[in-house]
Structures are given as structure tokens and as C-alpha cells.
Structure 1
Amino acid sequence: MDDILQQLRQDLDAAQDSKQLEQVRIKYLGRKGLITTLAKSTDFSRLSPEEKRSFGQRLNTLKSEAERLLAEAAARIQALEKDRVRRIAGLDLSLPSIDRRMGSIHPIALVQMELEEIFQGMGFRVLTGYEVELEYYNFDALNIPPDHPARDMQDTFWLENGMLLRTHTSANQVRALETYGVPLRAIFPGRCFRNEAIDASHENTFYQLEGLLVDRDISVAHLIAVMKTLLSQVFRREVTVRLRPGFFPFVEPGFELDVQCLICGGKGCSTCKQTGWIELIPCGLVHPKVLEYGRVDPQVYSGFAFGMGLTRLAMMKYGIPDIRLFNSGDIRFYEQFPAAF
């Protein structure tokens, strides 16, 4: 028994990891281990009662001492392994990271968050729609029948099941009226898709924000008031705008609200196509047929709708000259923008 105990101590001192320690445990306390075999192989019939008692006590003591030594070795090896993990490649992984930079938010997301806050302050609710949309809500319910030339202006990605990738967030107008009824104030921010020829100011994947207000006795004056409030808060400075007639099948009358290019100050550049102006907010009074599609009586209620390109708005707000930078995936571009607006 003394020899077994001495050999156990030597084996435990040599063990350097959990796998080696387990091999030592099996060698001494396993089913065929030295201590287990010692108890099974002893011929107790040749021992006197006093020798049996003495042998049993010593065997129990040996087993208990072996378990104690194994427990101490396990604690030692566990501490060694933790220290080894902390010091991989000379690094103490328990220390805080040296590079603890804050992440940044995409500039389009920054603009969307800011607009949502502004419109919520004016009583508008924020609603999301479907990027894969039905033809009915994207075109028909907006007074754009299949033979209408306005469809040709929105080169559309059609799916094999007859649905499409929405070409504008205006597709949410009738959905919102059907769901919430009137009066209604809502904005619909989201991603849109068109088969565009990509250049400095056009992308095939871009972001819009559609707005809709329907109530009794709504006029163009209400529309202008909301647009002025919006622009003064977005740009936090005076901007030059112009309102000119524009045609959109789902509004009547329709307008184009342009903002003087903030990249070149109105002098003309590639972003504004040398005109000095950027088309920013198409808008107008909701067409009576659209109200009817939304199950609203146009004799009682009226409203206005507007849409703006979040992508173009971000270009104006942050002075970004090329729309292709937004989807470039270049982390150096995104790191230029603050973590919060």
C-alpha cells in the first residue's frame, strides 16, 4: 500500500492537463485500477479477524488519501489551464480590449431615425409595409391601371408568382387606410427597387419615406406647413426650395418640391445634373379614387400625400456626392458618421 501511494504521488506530479489526470485516476481507482484490484485480489480467508480489520482500515485510508490527492491535483491543473488560456500568444484575455471603438450607424438609417422622430412629434404613426408587394397595392389602388404610362416610368422587378418588388413605399397608402380608417396620419419608410441605370444619383436599391394625412377639410396649405416644418428640422438651416407642378396618378393636384443642391450651392454638379436643383419631395392632394380604394368617402374626407427619397436626403444632409457609396460596403465610408443623430 505504501508503494502504491508513493507511485500515485509521482504520477500526479507528472500530470499536466485534465486528460493525463484522468488517466492517473483510472490507473488507481478505475475498475481495474491498482487500489481496486488490491481489494479484490486479497485472500481474506487466510487472514485472522484482527488482520482483516487492520487490512480493511488501511485499504480505506489508502482509498481516501488517493481521492484527496486526486482532488488537489485537479484543482492545480484547472488553475494551470485557465492561466494557459489567458496567455495564449502572450495575451492575457482577461484584460479589457485595447480597441474599444463604438460602431457607427449607416447615414440612411440616421436620416430615417431623425425623420421618424420629427413626424412622430407632429402626430404621425410609423408603419412598415412589404418589400414584396401585390400589383394591386403597388399600382392599381394608386390609380395606375395596367395601360397607364406611369408604369413605364418605374422599371419593375417582377417575380414568377406574379408579385413584384415594390417600386415605391406609396404602396402602403391604401393598406393603411383599409387597416386604420380615417382620420389617419402615417409615414411609411422603407426600401424600394427599380431596374435603374446606376450613376451618381441613381441606384436600383434605394430608400423612400412616404407620408399620408387624411382628415376633414385638408388643403394644400396644410401640406406646405408640414413640409416647411420638416425641412427646417432636417437641415437645421435655411434651405431654398421651389414648388412646381408635377404629375403623379395618385394625387391631384400634384407638385414637385425641389431643394437647391446643397453639394454645389446651386452652381451645378454631377449630383444635381448641372441644374442646381434636386427633386426631393413629390407631393399633392390625395386623388379621390385612391380614397375610394381605401374605403374612404372623398366627399367627406380629403388629404395629402408626399414621398421623399431617404437616400437623396442623406446625400444632401451629409454632402455625399455619389449615391453608390451607400451600398459600397466600404467601412471607411460608414465610420465617418456619428453613432447617433
Structure 2
Amino acid sequence: MLRKLLRFQFCSLQDQIKKQQNSYSNITDKIISYVGRDLHKIPSHPLGIIKNRIETFFQNEAITEKQSKYPLKYKIIDNLSPIVSVKQNFDSLLVPPDHPSRKKSDTYYINENALLRCHTSAHQVELIQNNVDAFVVVGDVYRRDEIDATHYPVFHQVEIVRIFQQDQFSSKYLQHQIQESMDDLKETLERLTKHLFGDVQMRWVETTFPFTNPSMELEIYFQDKWLEVLGCGVIHQDLMKNCQRLTEVGWAAGLGLERLALLLFQIPDIRLFWSQDARFLDQFRAGQINKFQPFSKYPSCYKDVSFYVDHRTWEENDLHSVIRDIGGDLIEKVECVDTFYNKKKDLTSKCYRIHYRSLERTLQNEEIDVLQFKIRDQIRDVLKLELR
């Protein structure tokens, strides 16, 4: 019965996207096929294991001394649709109209007004407006991105928000309240990080986000190097005004499940999370974190493709999208290996190397050639670029 319900929800979301699509859409059938898969809801999947650890922390261990003065249980939300409006994803979060993340080269648009969310922060304003003052939102998010071992067009994000009432602060002055909120944020997230990684060295790095001020990133020293694990900050006061919460202050944080799972399970390739291979899936048990044991790594093969671009309008993510749509998970990595400017043509020549490697079998040169020719055709016919 549960499987039938999940299958219905899976198809329903995909059908909604197809019904709303128009000529403005840049979402392919390949991307639509990921919608509704909900890997984070599978208890024995690495993403589900990390998600459940985070939820357990916020259900049982996250209350700080400041939060205890106005105790609230964090509400866990993992069933919000990834189909959101432009207003939800960008406008409500104070993302400037000219911000690069709004471009079609970065975001999957269903039509001019709707898209597949780029972050779970898309639900933040609505929840705060509805007086949900402590919540954890988990879900799949979508971004057009490069192709390599750590990037995928679909990944899973956790959004954490905590809003404080005036009587929880020791001062009536806004700047003091912002500092107290930041102190609480740091205490909470450092404890979460220890809950996940153990007693690791940590450091805070100042950064900038449109919807928080001040903003920080938390880095940990793990496997002999510093790694960024999450971004956070005090919620921007203009955003709180948009929520009609003029006198309140709070903090927000976001982190990616894939980033954490790659580190904690020592999984070398992000494509593996989508694998149906039993040699991968059978290694994991609900509630347990164990080192991934690689099975046979099949040989790789690479092919180069060269073409001219106008550097004033060139968007590399458009190329990655075309290659991913044709090659899917047979594409391991795409890298630019040569660039030069042709003064006579007033164009830039680019040579990209496409690395093919299946996670499950040895690829034949003939089938790679078929994919490579399809990619070349799409570069010429869809991207309208001159091949070399």
C-alpha cells in the first residue's frame, strides 16, 4: 500500500511539471525523471541515514540554554513539493534581480513563474509567516551545474531555522540580540557537527548570503584538510519584515546531505547515490555509518570535442546540461582542456574532454562513439555552436 502511494506521488509531481511546462522551460525529461525519487526518505540509504541522524539531534539534543527559556520542539518537515514559484525561491529571500542564480543557465525553470527549487530555503518565509519558529526542512533541490565526482543536478538539502521572542534576549537593543542569536547558532551547529563527525576541529569563516546578515560558513578539519560543511547566519531583518515579524530575531542554516554522506561514508562518486546496484545498496543499514567498500572500478574512456564560443554570452552550464542529458550517469567528468582566442573570428575556441565510465559495467567503444556523436550534434543544433 505504501509503495503504491509513493508511486502515485512520484508520478503526480512529474505530471504537474509536464502540465505546467511551456516554451520557457529548460527542464528535460531526464531531470523530470529524478523528481519524486525521495532518496532521503529511504532509511537504509546513505542520505536517509544522515537525514535521520540530523533529525534525531534536533528532536532530542538541540535545545541550548537560550532556547530552553522558551522551549519549542523543532518541527521536522520532509514532504514539501520541489515545485515552487520564482517569488518563493528568489524574491522572498531578497535575491537581487540580477543575481547569477536566477539565470536559466543555473536554474531549472518550468515556466516564467515556476521552477524546481534551488534550495530548501524557498519555504522559509512561508513557514515563518505561519509562526513556525523552530523547524528543519529536508528535500531534493535542483541546480544546473558542472559534471564531476561531487556535483549532480539533483541533491538534497537541510534547512534549519530558529526564531526567538523578545523576552529571550538579555538586551532590548537589536545589535545585542543579533549577537546573542549568532552565539546560539554557533553553539547549536557546533554540537550538531560533533553529533555527526565526532570531536573534530572547527573554524568559522565570514561570508555573504542575500538572506542572512551576518553570514558564516562552518569548516571542519577532516581527513587531513579543511572542508566547508554548512552555511548559516542571522536572518536578514528585511526578510523578517517580509514575514510580518518586525520585532523578532532568528537564525537559519543550510547543509547538503550528499556533502556529508560523501565524507562520512567515504563514497568517491556522487553518482553512486542514484545507483540501483545491489553491491552499493546492500552495504548500508539504517542507523549505521560505515566506510564504503569499492567494488570493481570499470575502465574509463575519454573523448574530446572542440568548438567556438562567444565569450560574452557563453554559459558553460548549458554544455554540461546537454552532455548530461545524453550521457546520463555514464559521464564521469567533463573538463575544459584547452582555450584560445581566435582574433580573426572574434571567437574563443574551447576543447572539452568528456570522461565516460559506468559504475556497473565496462563500456564498449562503439556505444561511447554513439553518445559522442549525439553530443556533437546537440552542440551544433541546440547550442548553435560551430564545431572544430
Q: Which amino acid aligns with 1:259?
A: I
Name the CA shift for 1:282/1:153 in 2 (closer, same or farther; >3 Å).
farther
Q: TM-score, normalised by structure 2?
A: 0.54
Name the CA shift for 1:153/1:315 in 2 (closer, same or farther; >3 Å).
farther
Q: What's the counterpart of residue 75 of structure 2?
A: 125
Q: What's the counterpart of residue 338 of structure 1?
A: 285
Bigger proportion of residues as strand: 2
Q: What's the counterpart of residue 313 of structure 1?
A: 260
SS at 1:233 equivalent: helix
Conserved? CA contact 1:199–1:324, under 8 Å: no
Q: Which runs of 5+ in 2 are unaligned?
A: 1-41, 63-72, 170-179, 289-388
Aligned length: 222
Q: Which amino acid aligns with 2:278?
A: I
Name the CA shift for 1:246/1:104 in 2 (closer, same or farther; >3 Å).
closer
Counterparts of 1:189 and 1:326 in 2: how far apart (Å)? 17
Question: 1:152: Cα distance to partner?
Answer: 5.2
Residue 228 (str. 1) matches residue 190 (str. 2): yes
Name the CA shift for 1:203/1:126 in 2 (closer, same or farther; >3 Å).
same
Instruction: Spell out, residue by residue over 1:114-136, the C-alpha distance to the aligned partner (whole angstroms, 9 max, x if none).
Output: 11111112331112422011111
Conserved? CA contact 2:158–2:254, under 8 Å: yes
Q: Matches of residues 1-341 of structure 1 in structure 2 within 5 Å?
A: 105-121=44-60, 122=62, 123-128=73-78, 129-149=80-100, 151=102, 155-160=106-111, 162-180=113-131, 184-216=133-165, 217=169, 218-235=180-197, 237-261=198-222, 265-266=223-224, 276-297=225-246, 300-341=247-288
Output the aligned Cα RMSD. 2.0
Bigger proportion of residues as helix: 1
Question: 1:104: Cα distance to partner?
Answer: 7.2
SS at 1:110 equivalent: helix
Q: TM-score, normalised by structure 1?
A: 0.61
Instruction: Spell out, residue by residue over 1:133-191, the C-alpha distance to the aligned partner (whole angstroms, 9 max, x if none).
Output: 1111111010113223454598100013630000000111101012225xx11111110
Counterparts of 1:113 and 1:126 in 2: how far apart (Å)? 10
Conserved? CA contact 1:104–1:337, under 8 Å: no
Instruction: Spell out, residue by residue over 1:28-70, the C-alpha distance to the aligned partner (whole angstroms, 9 max, x if none).
Output: xxxxxxxxxxxxxxxxxxxxxxxxxxxxxxxxxxxxxxxxxxx
SS at 1:219 equivalent: helix
Q: Which runs of 5+ in 1 are unaligned?
A: 1-102, 267-275
Question: 1:332: Cα distance to partner?
Answer: 1.0
Conserved? CA contact 1:174–1:290, under 8 Å: yes
Conserved? CA contact 1:212–1:305, under 8 Å: yes
Name the CA shift for 1:333/1:104 in 2 (closer, same or farther; >3 Å).
farther
For the pair shown, which has the larger CA radius of gyration, 1 or 2?
A: 1
Conserved? CA contact 1:133–1:166, under 8 Å: yes
Q: Following superposition, which runs of at least 4 residues in structure 1 exceed 4 angstroms of deviation? A: none
Counterparts of 2:74 and 2:96 in 1: how far apart (Å)? 29
SS at 1:157 equivalent: coil
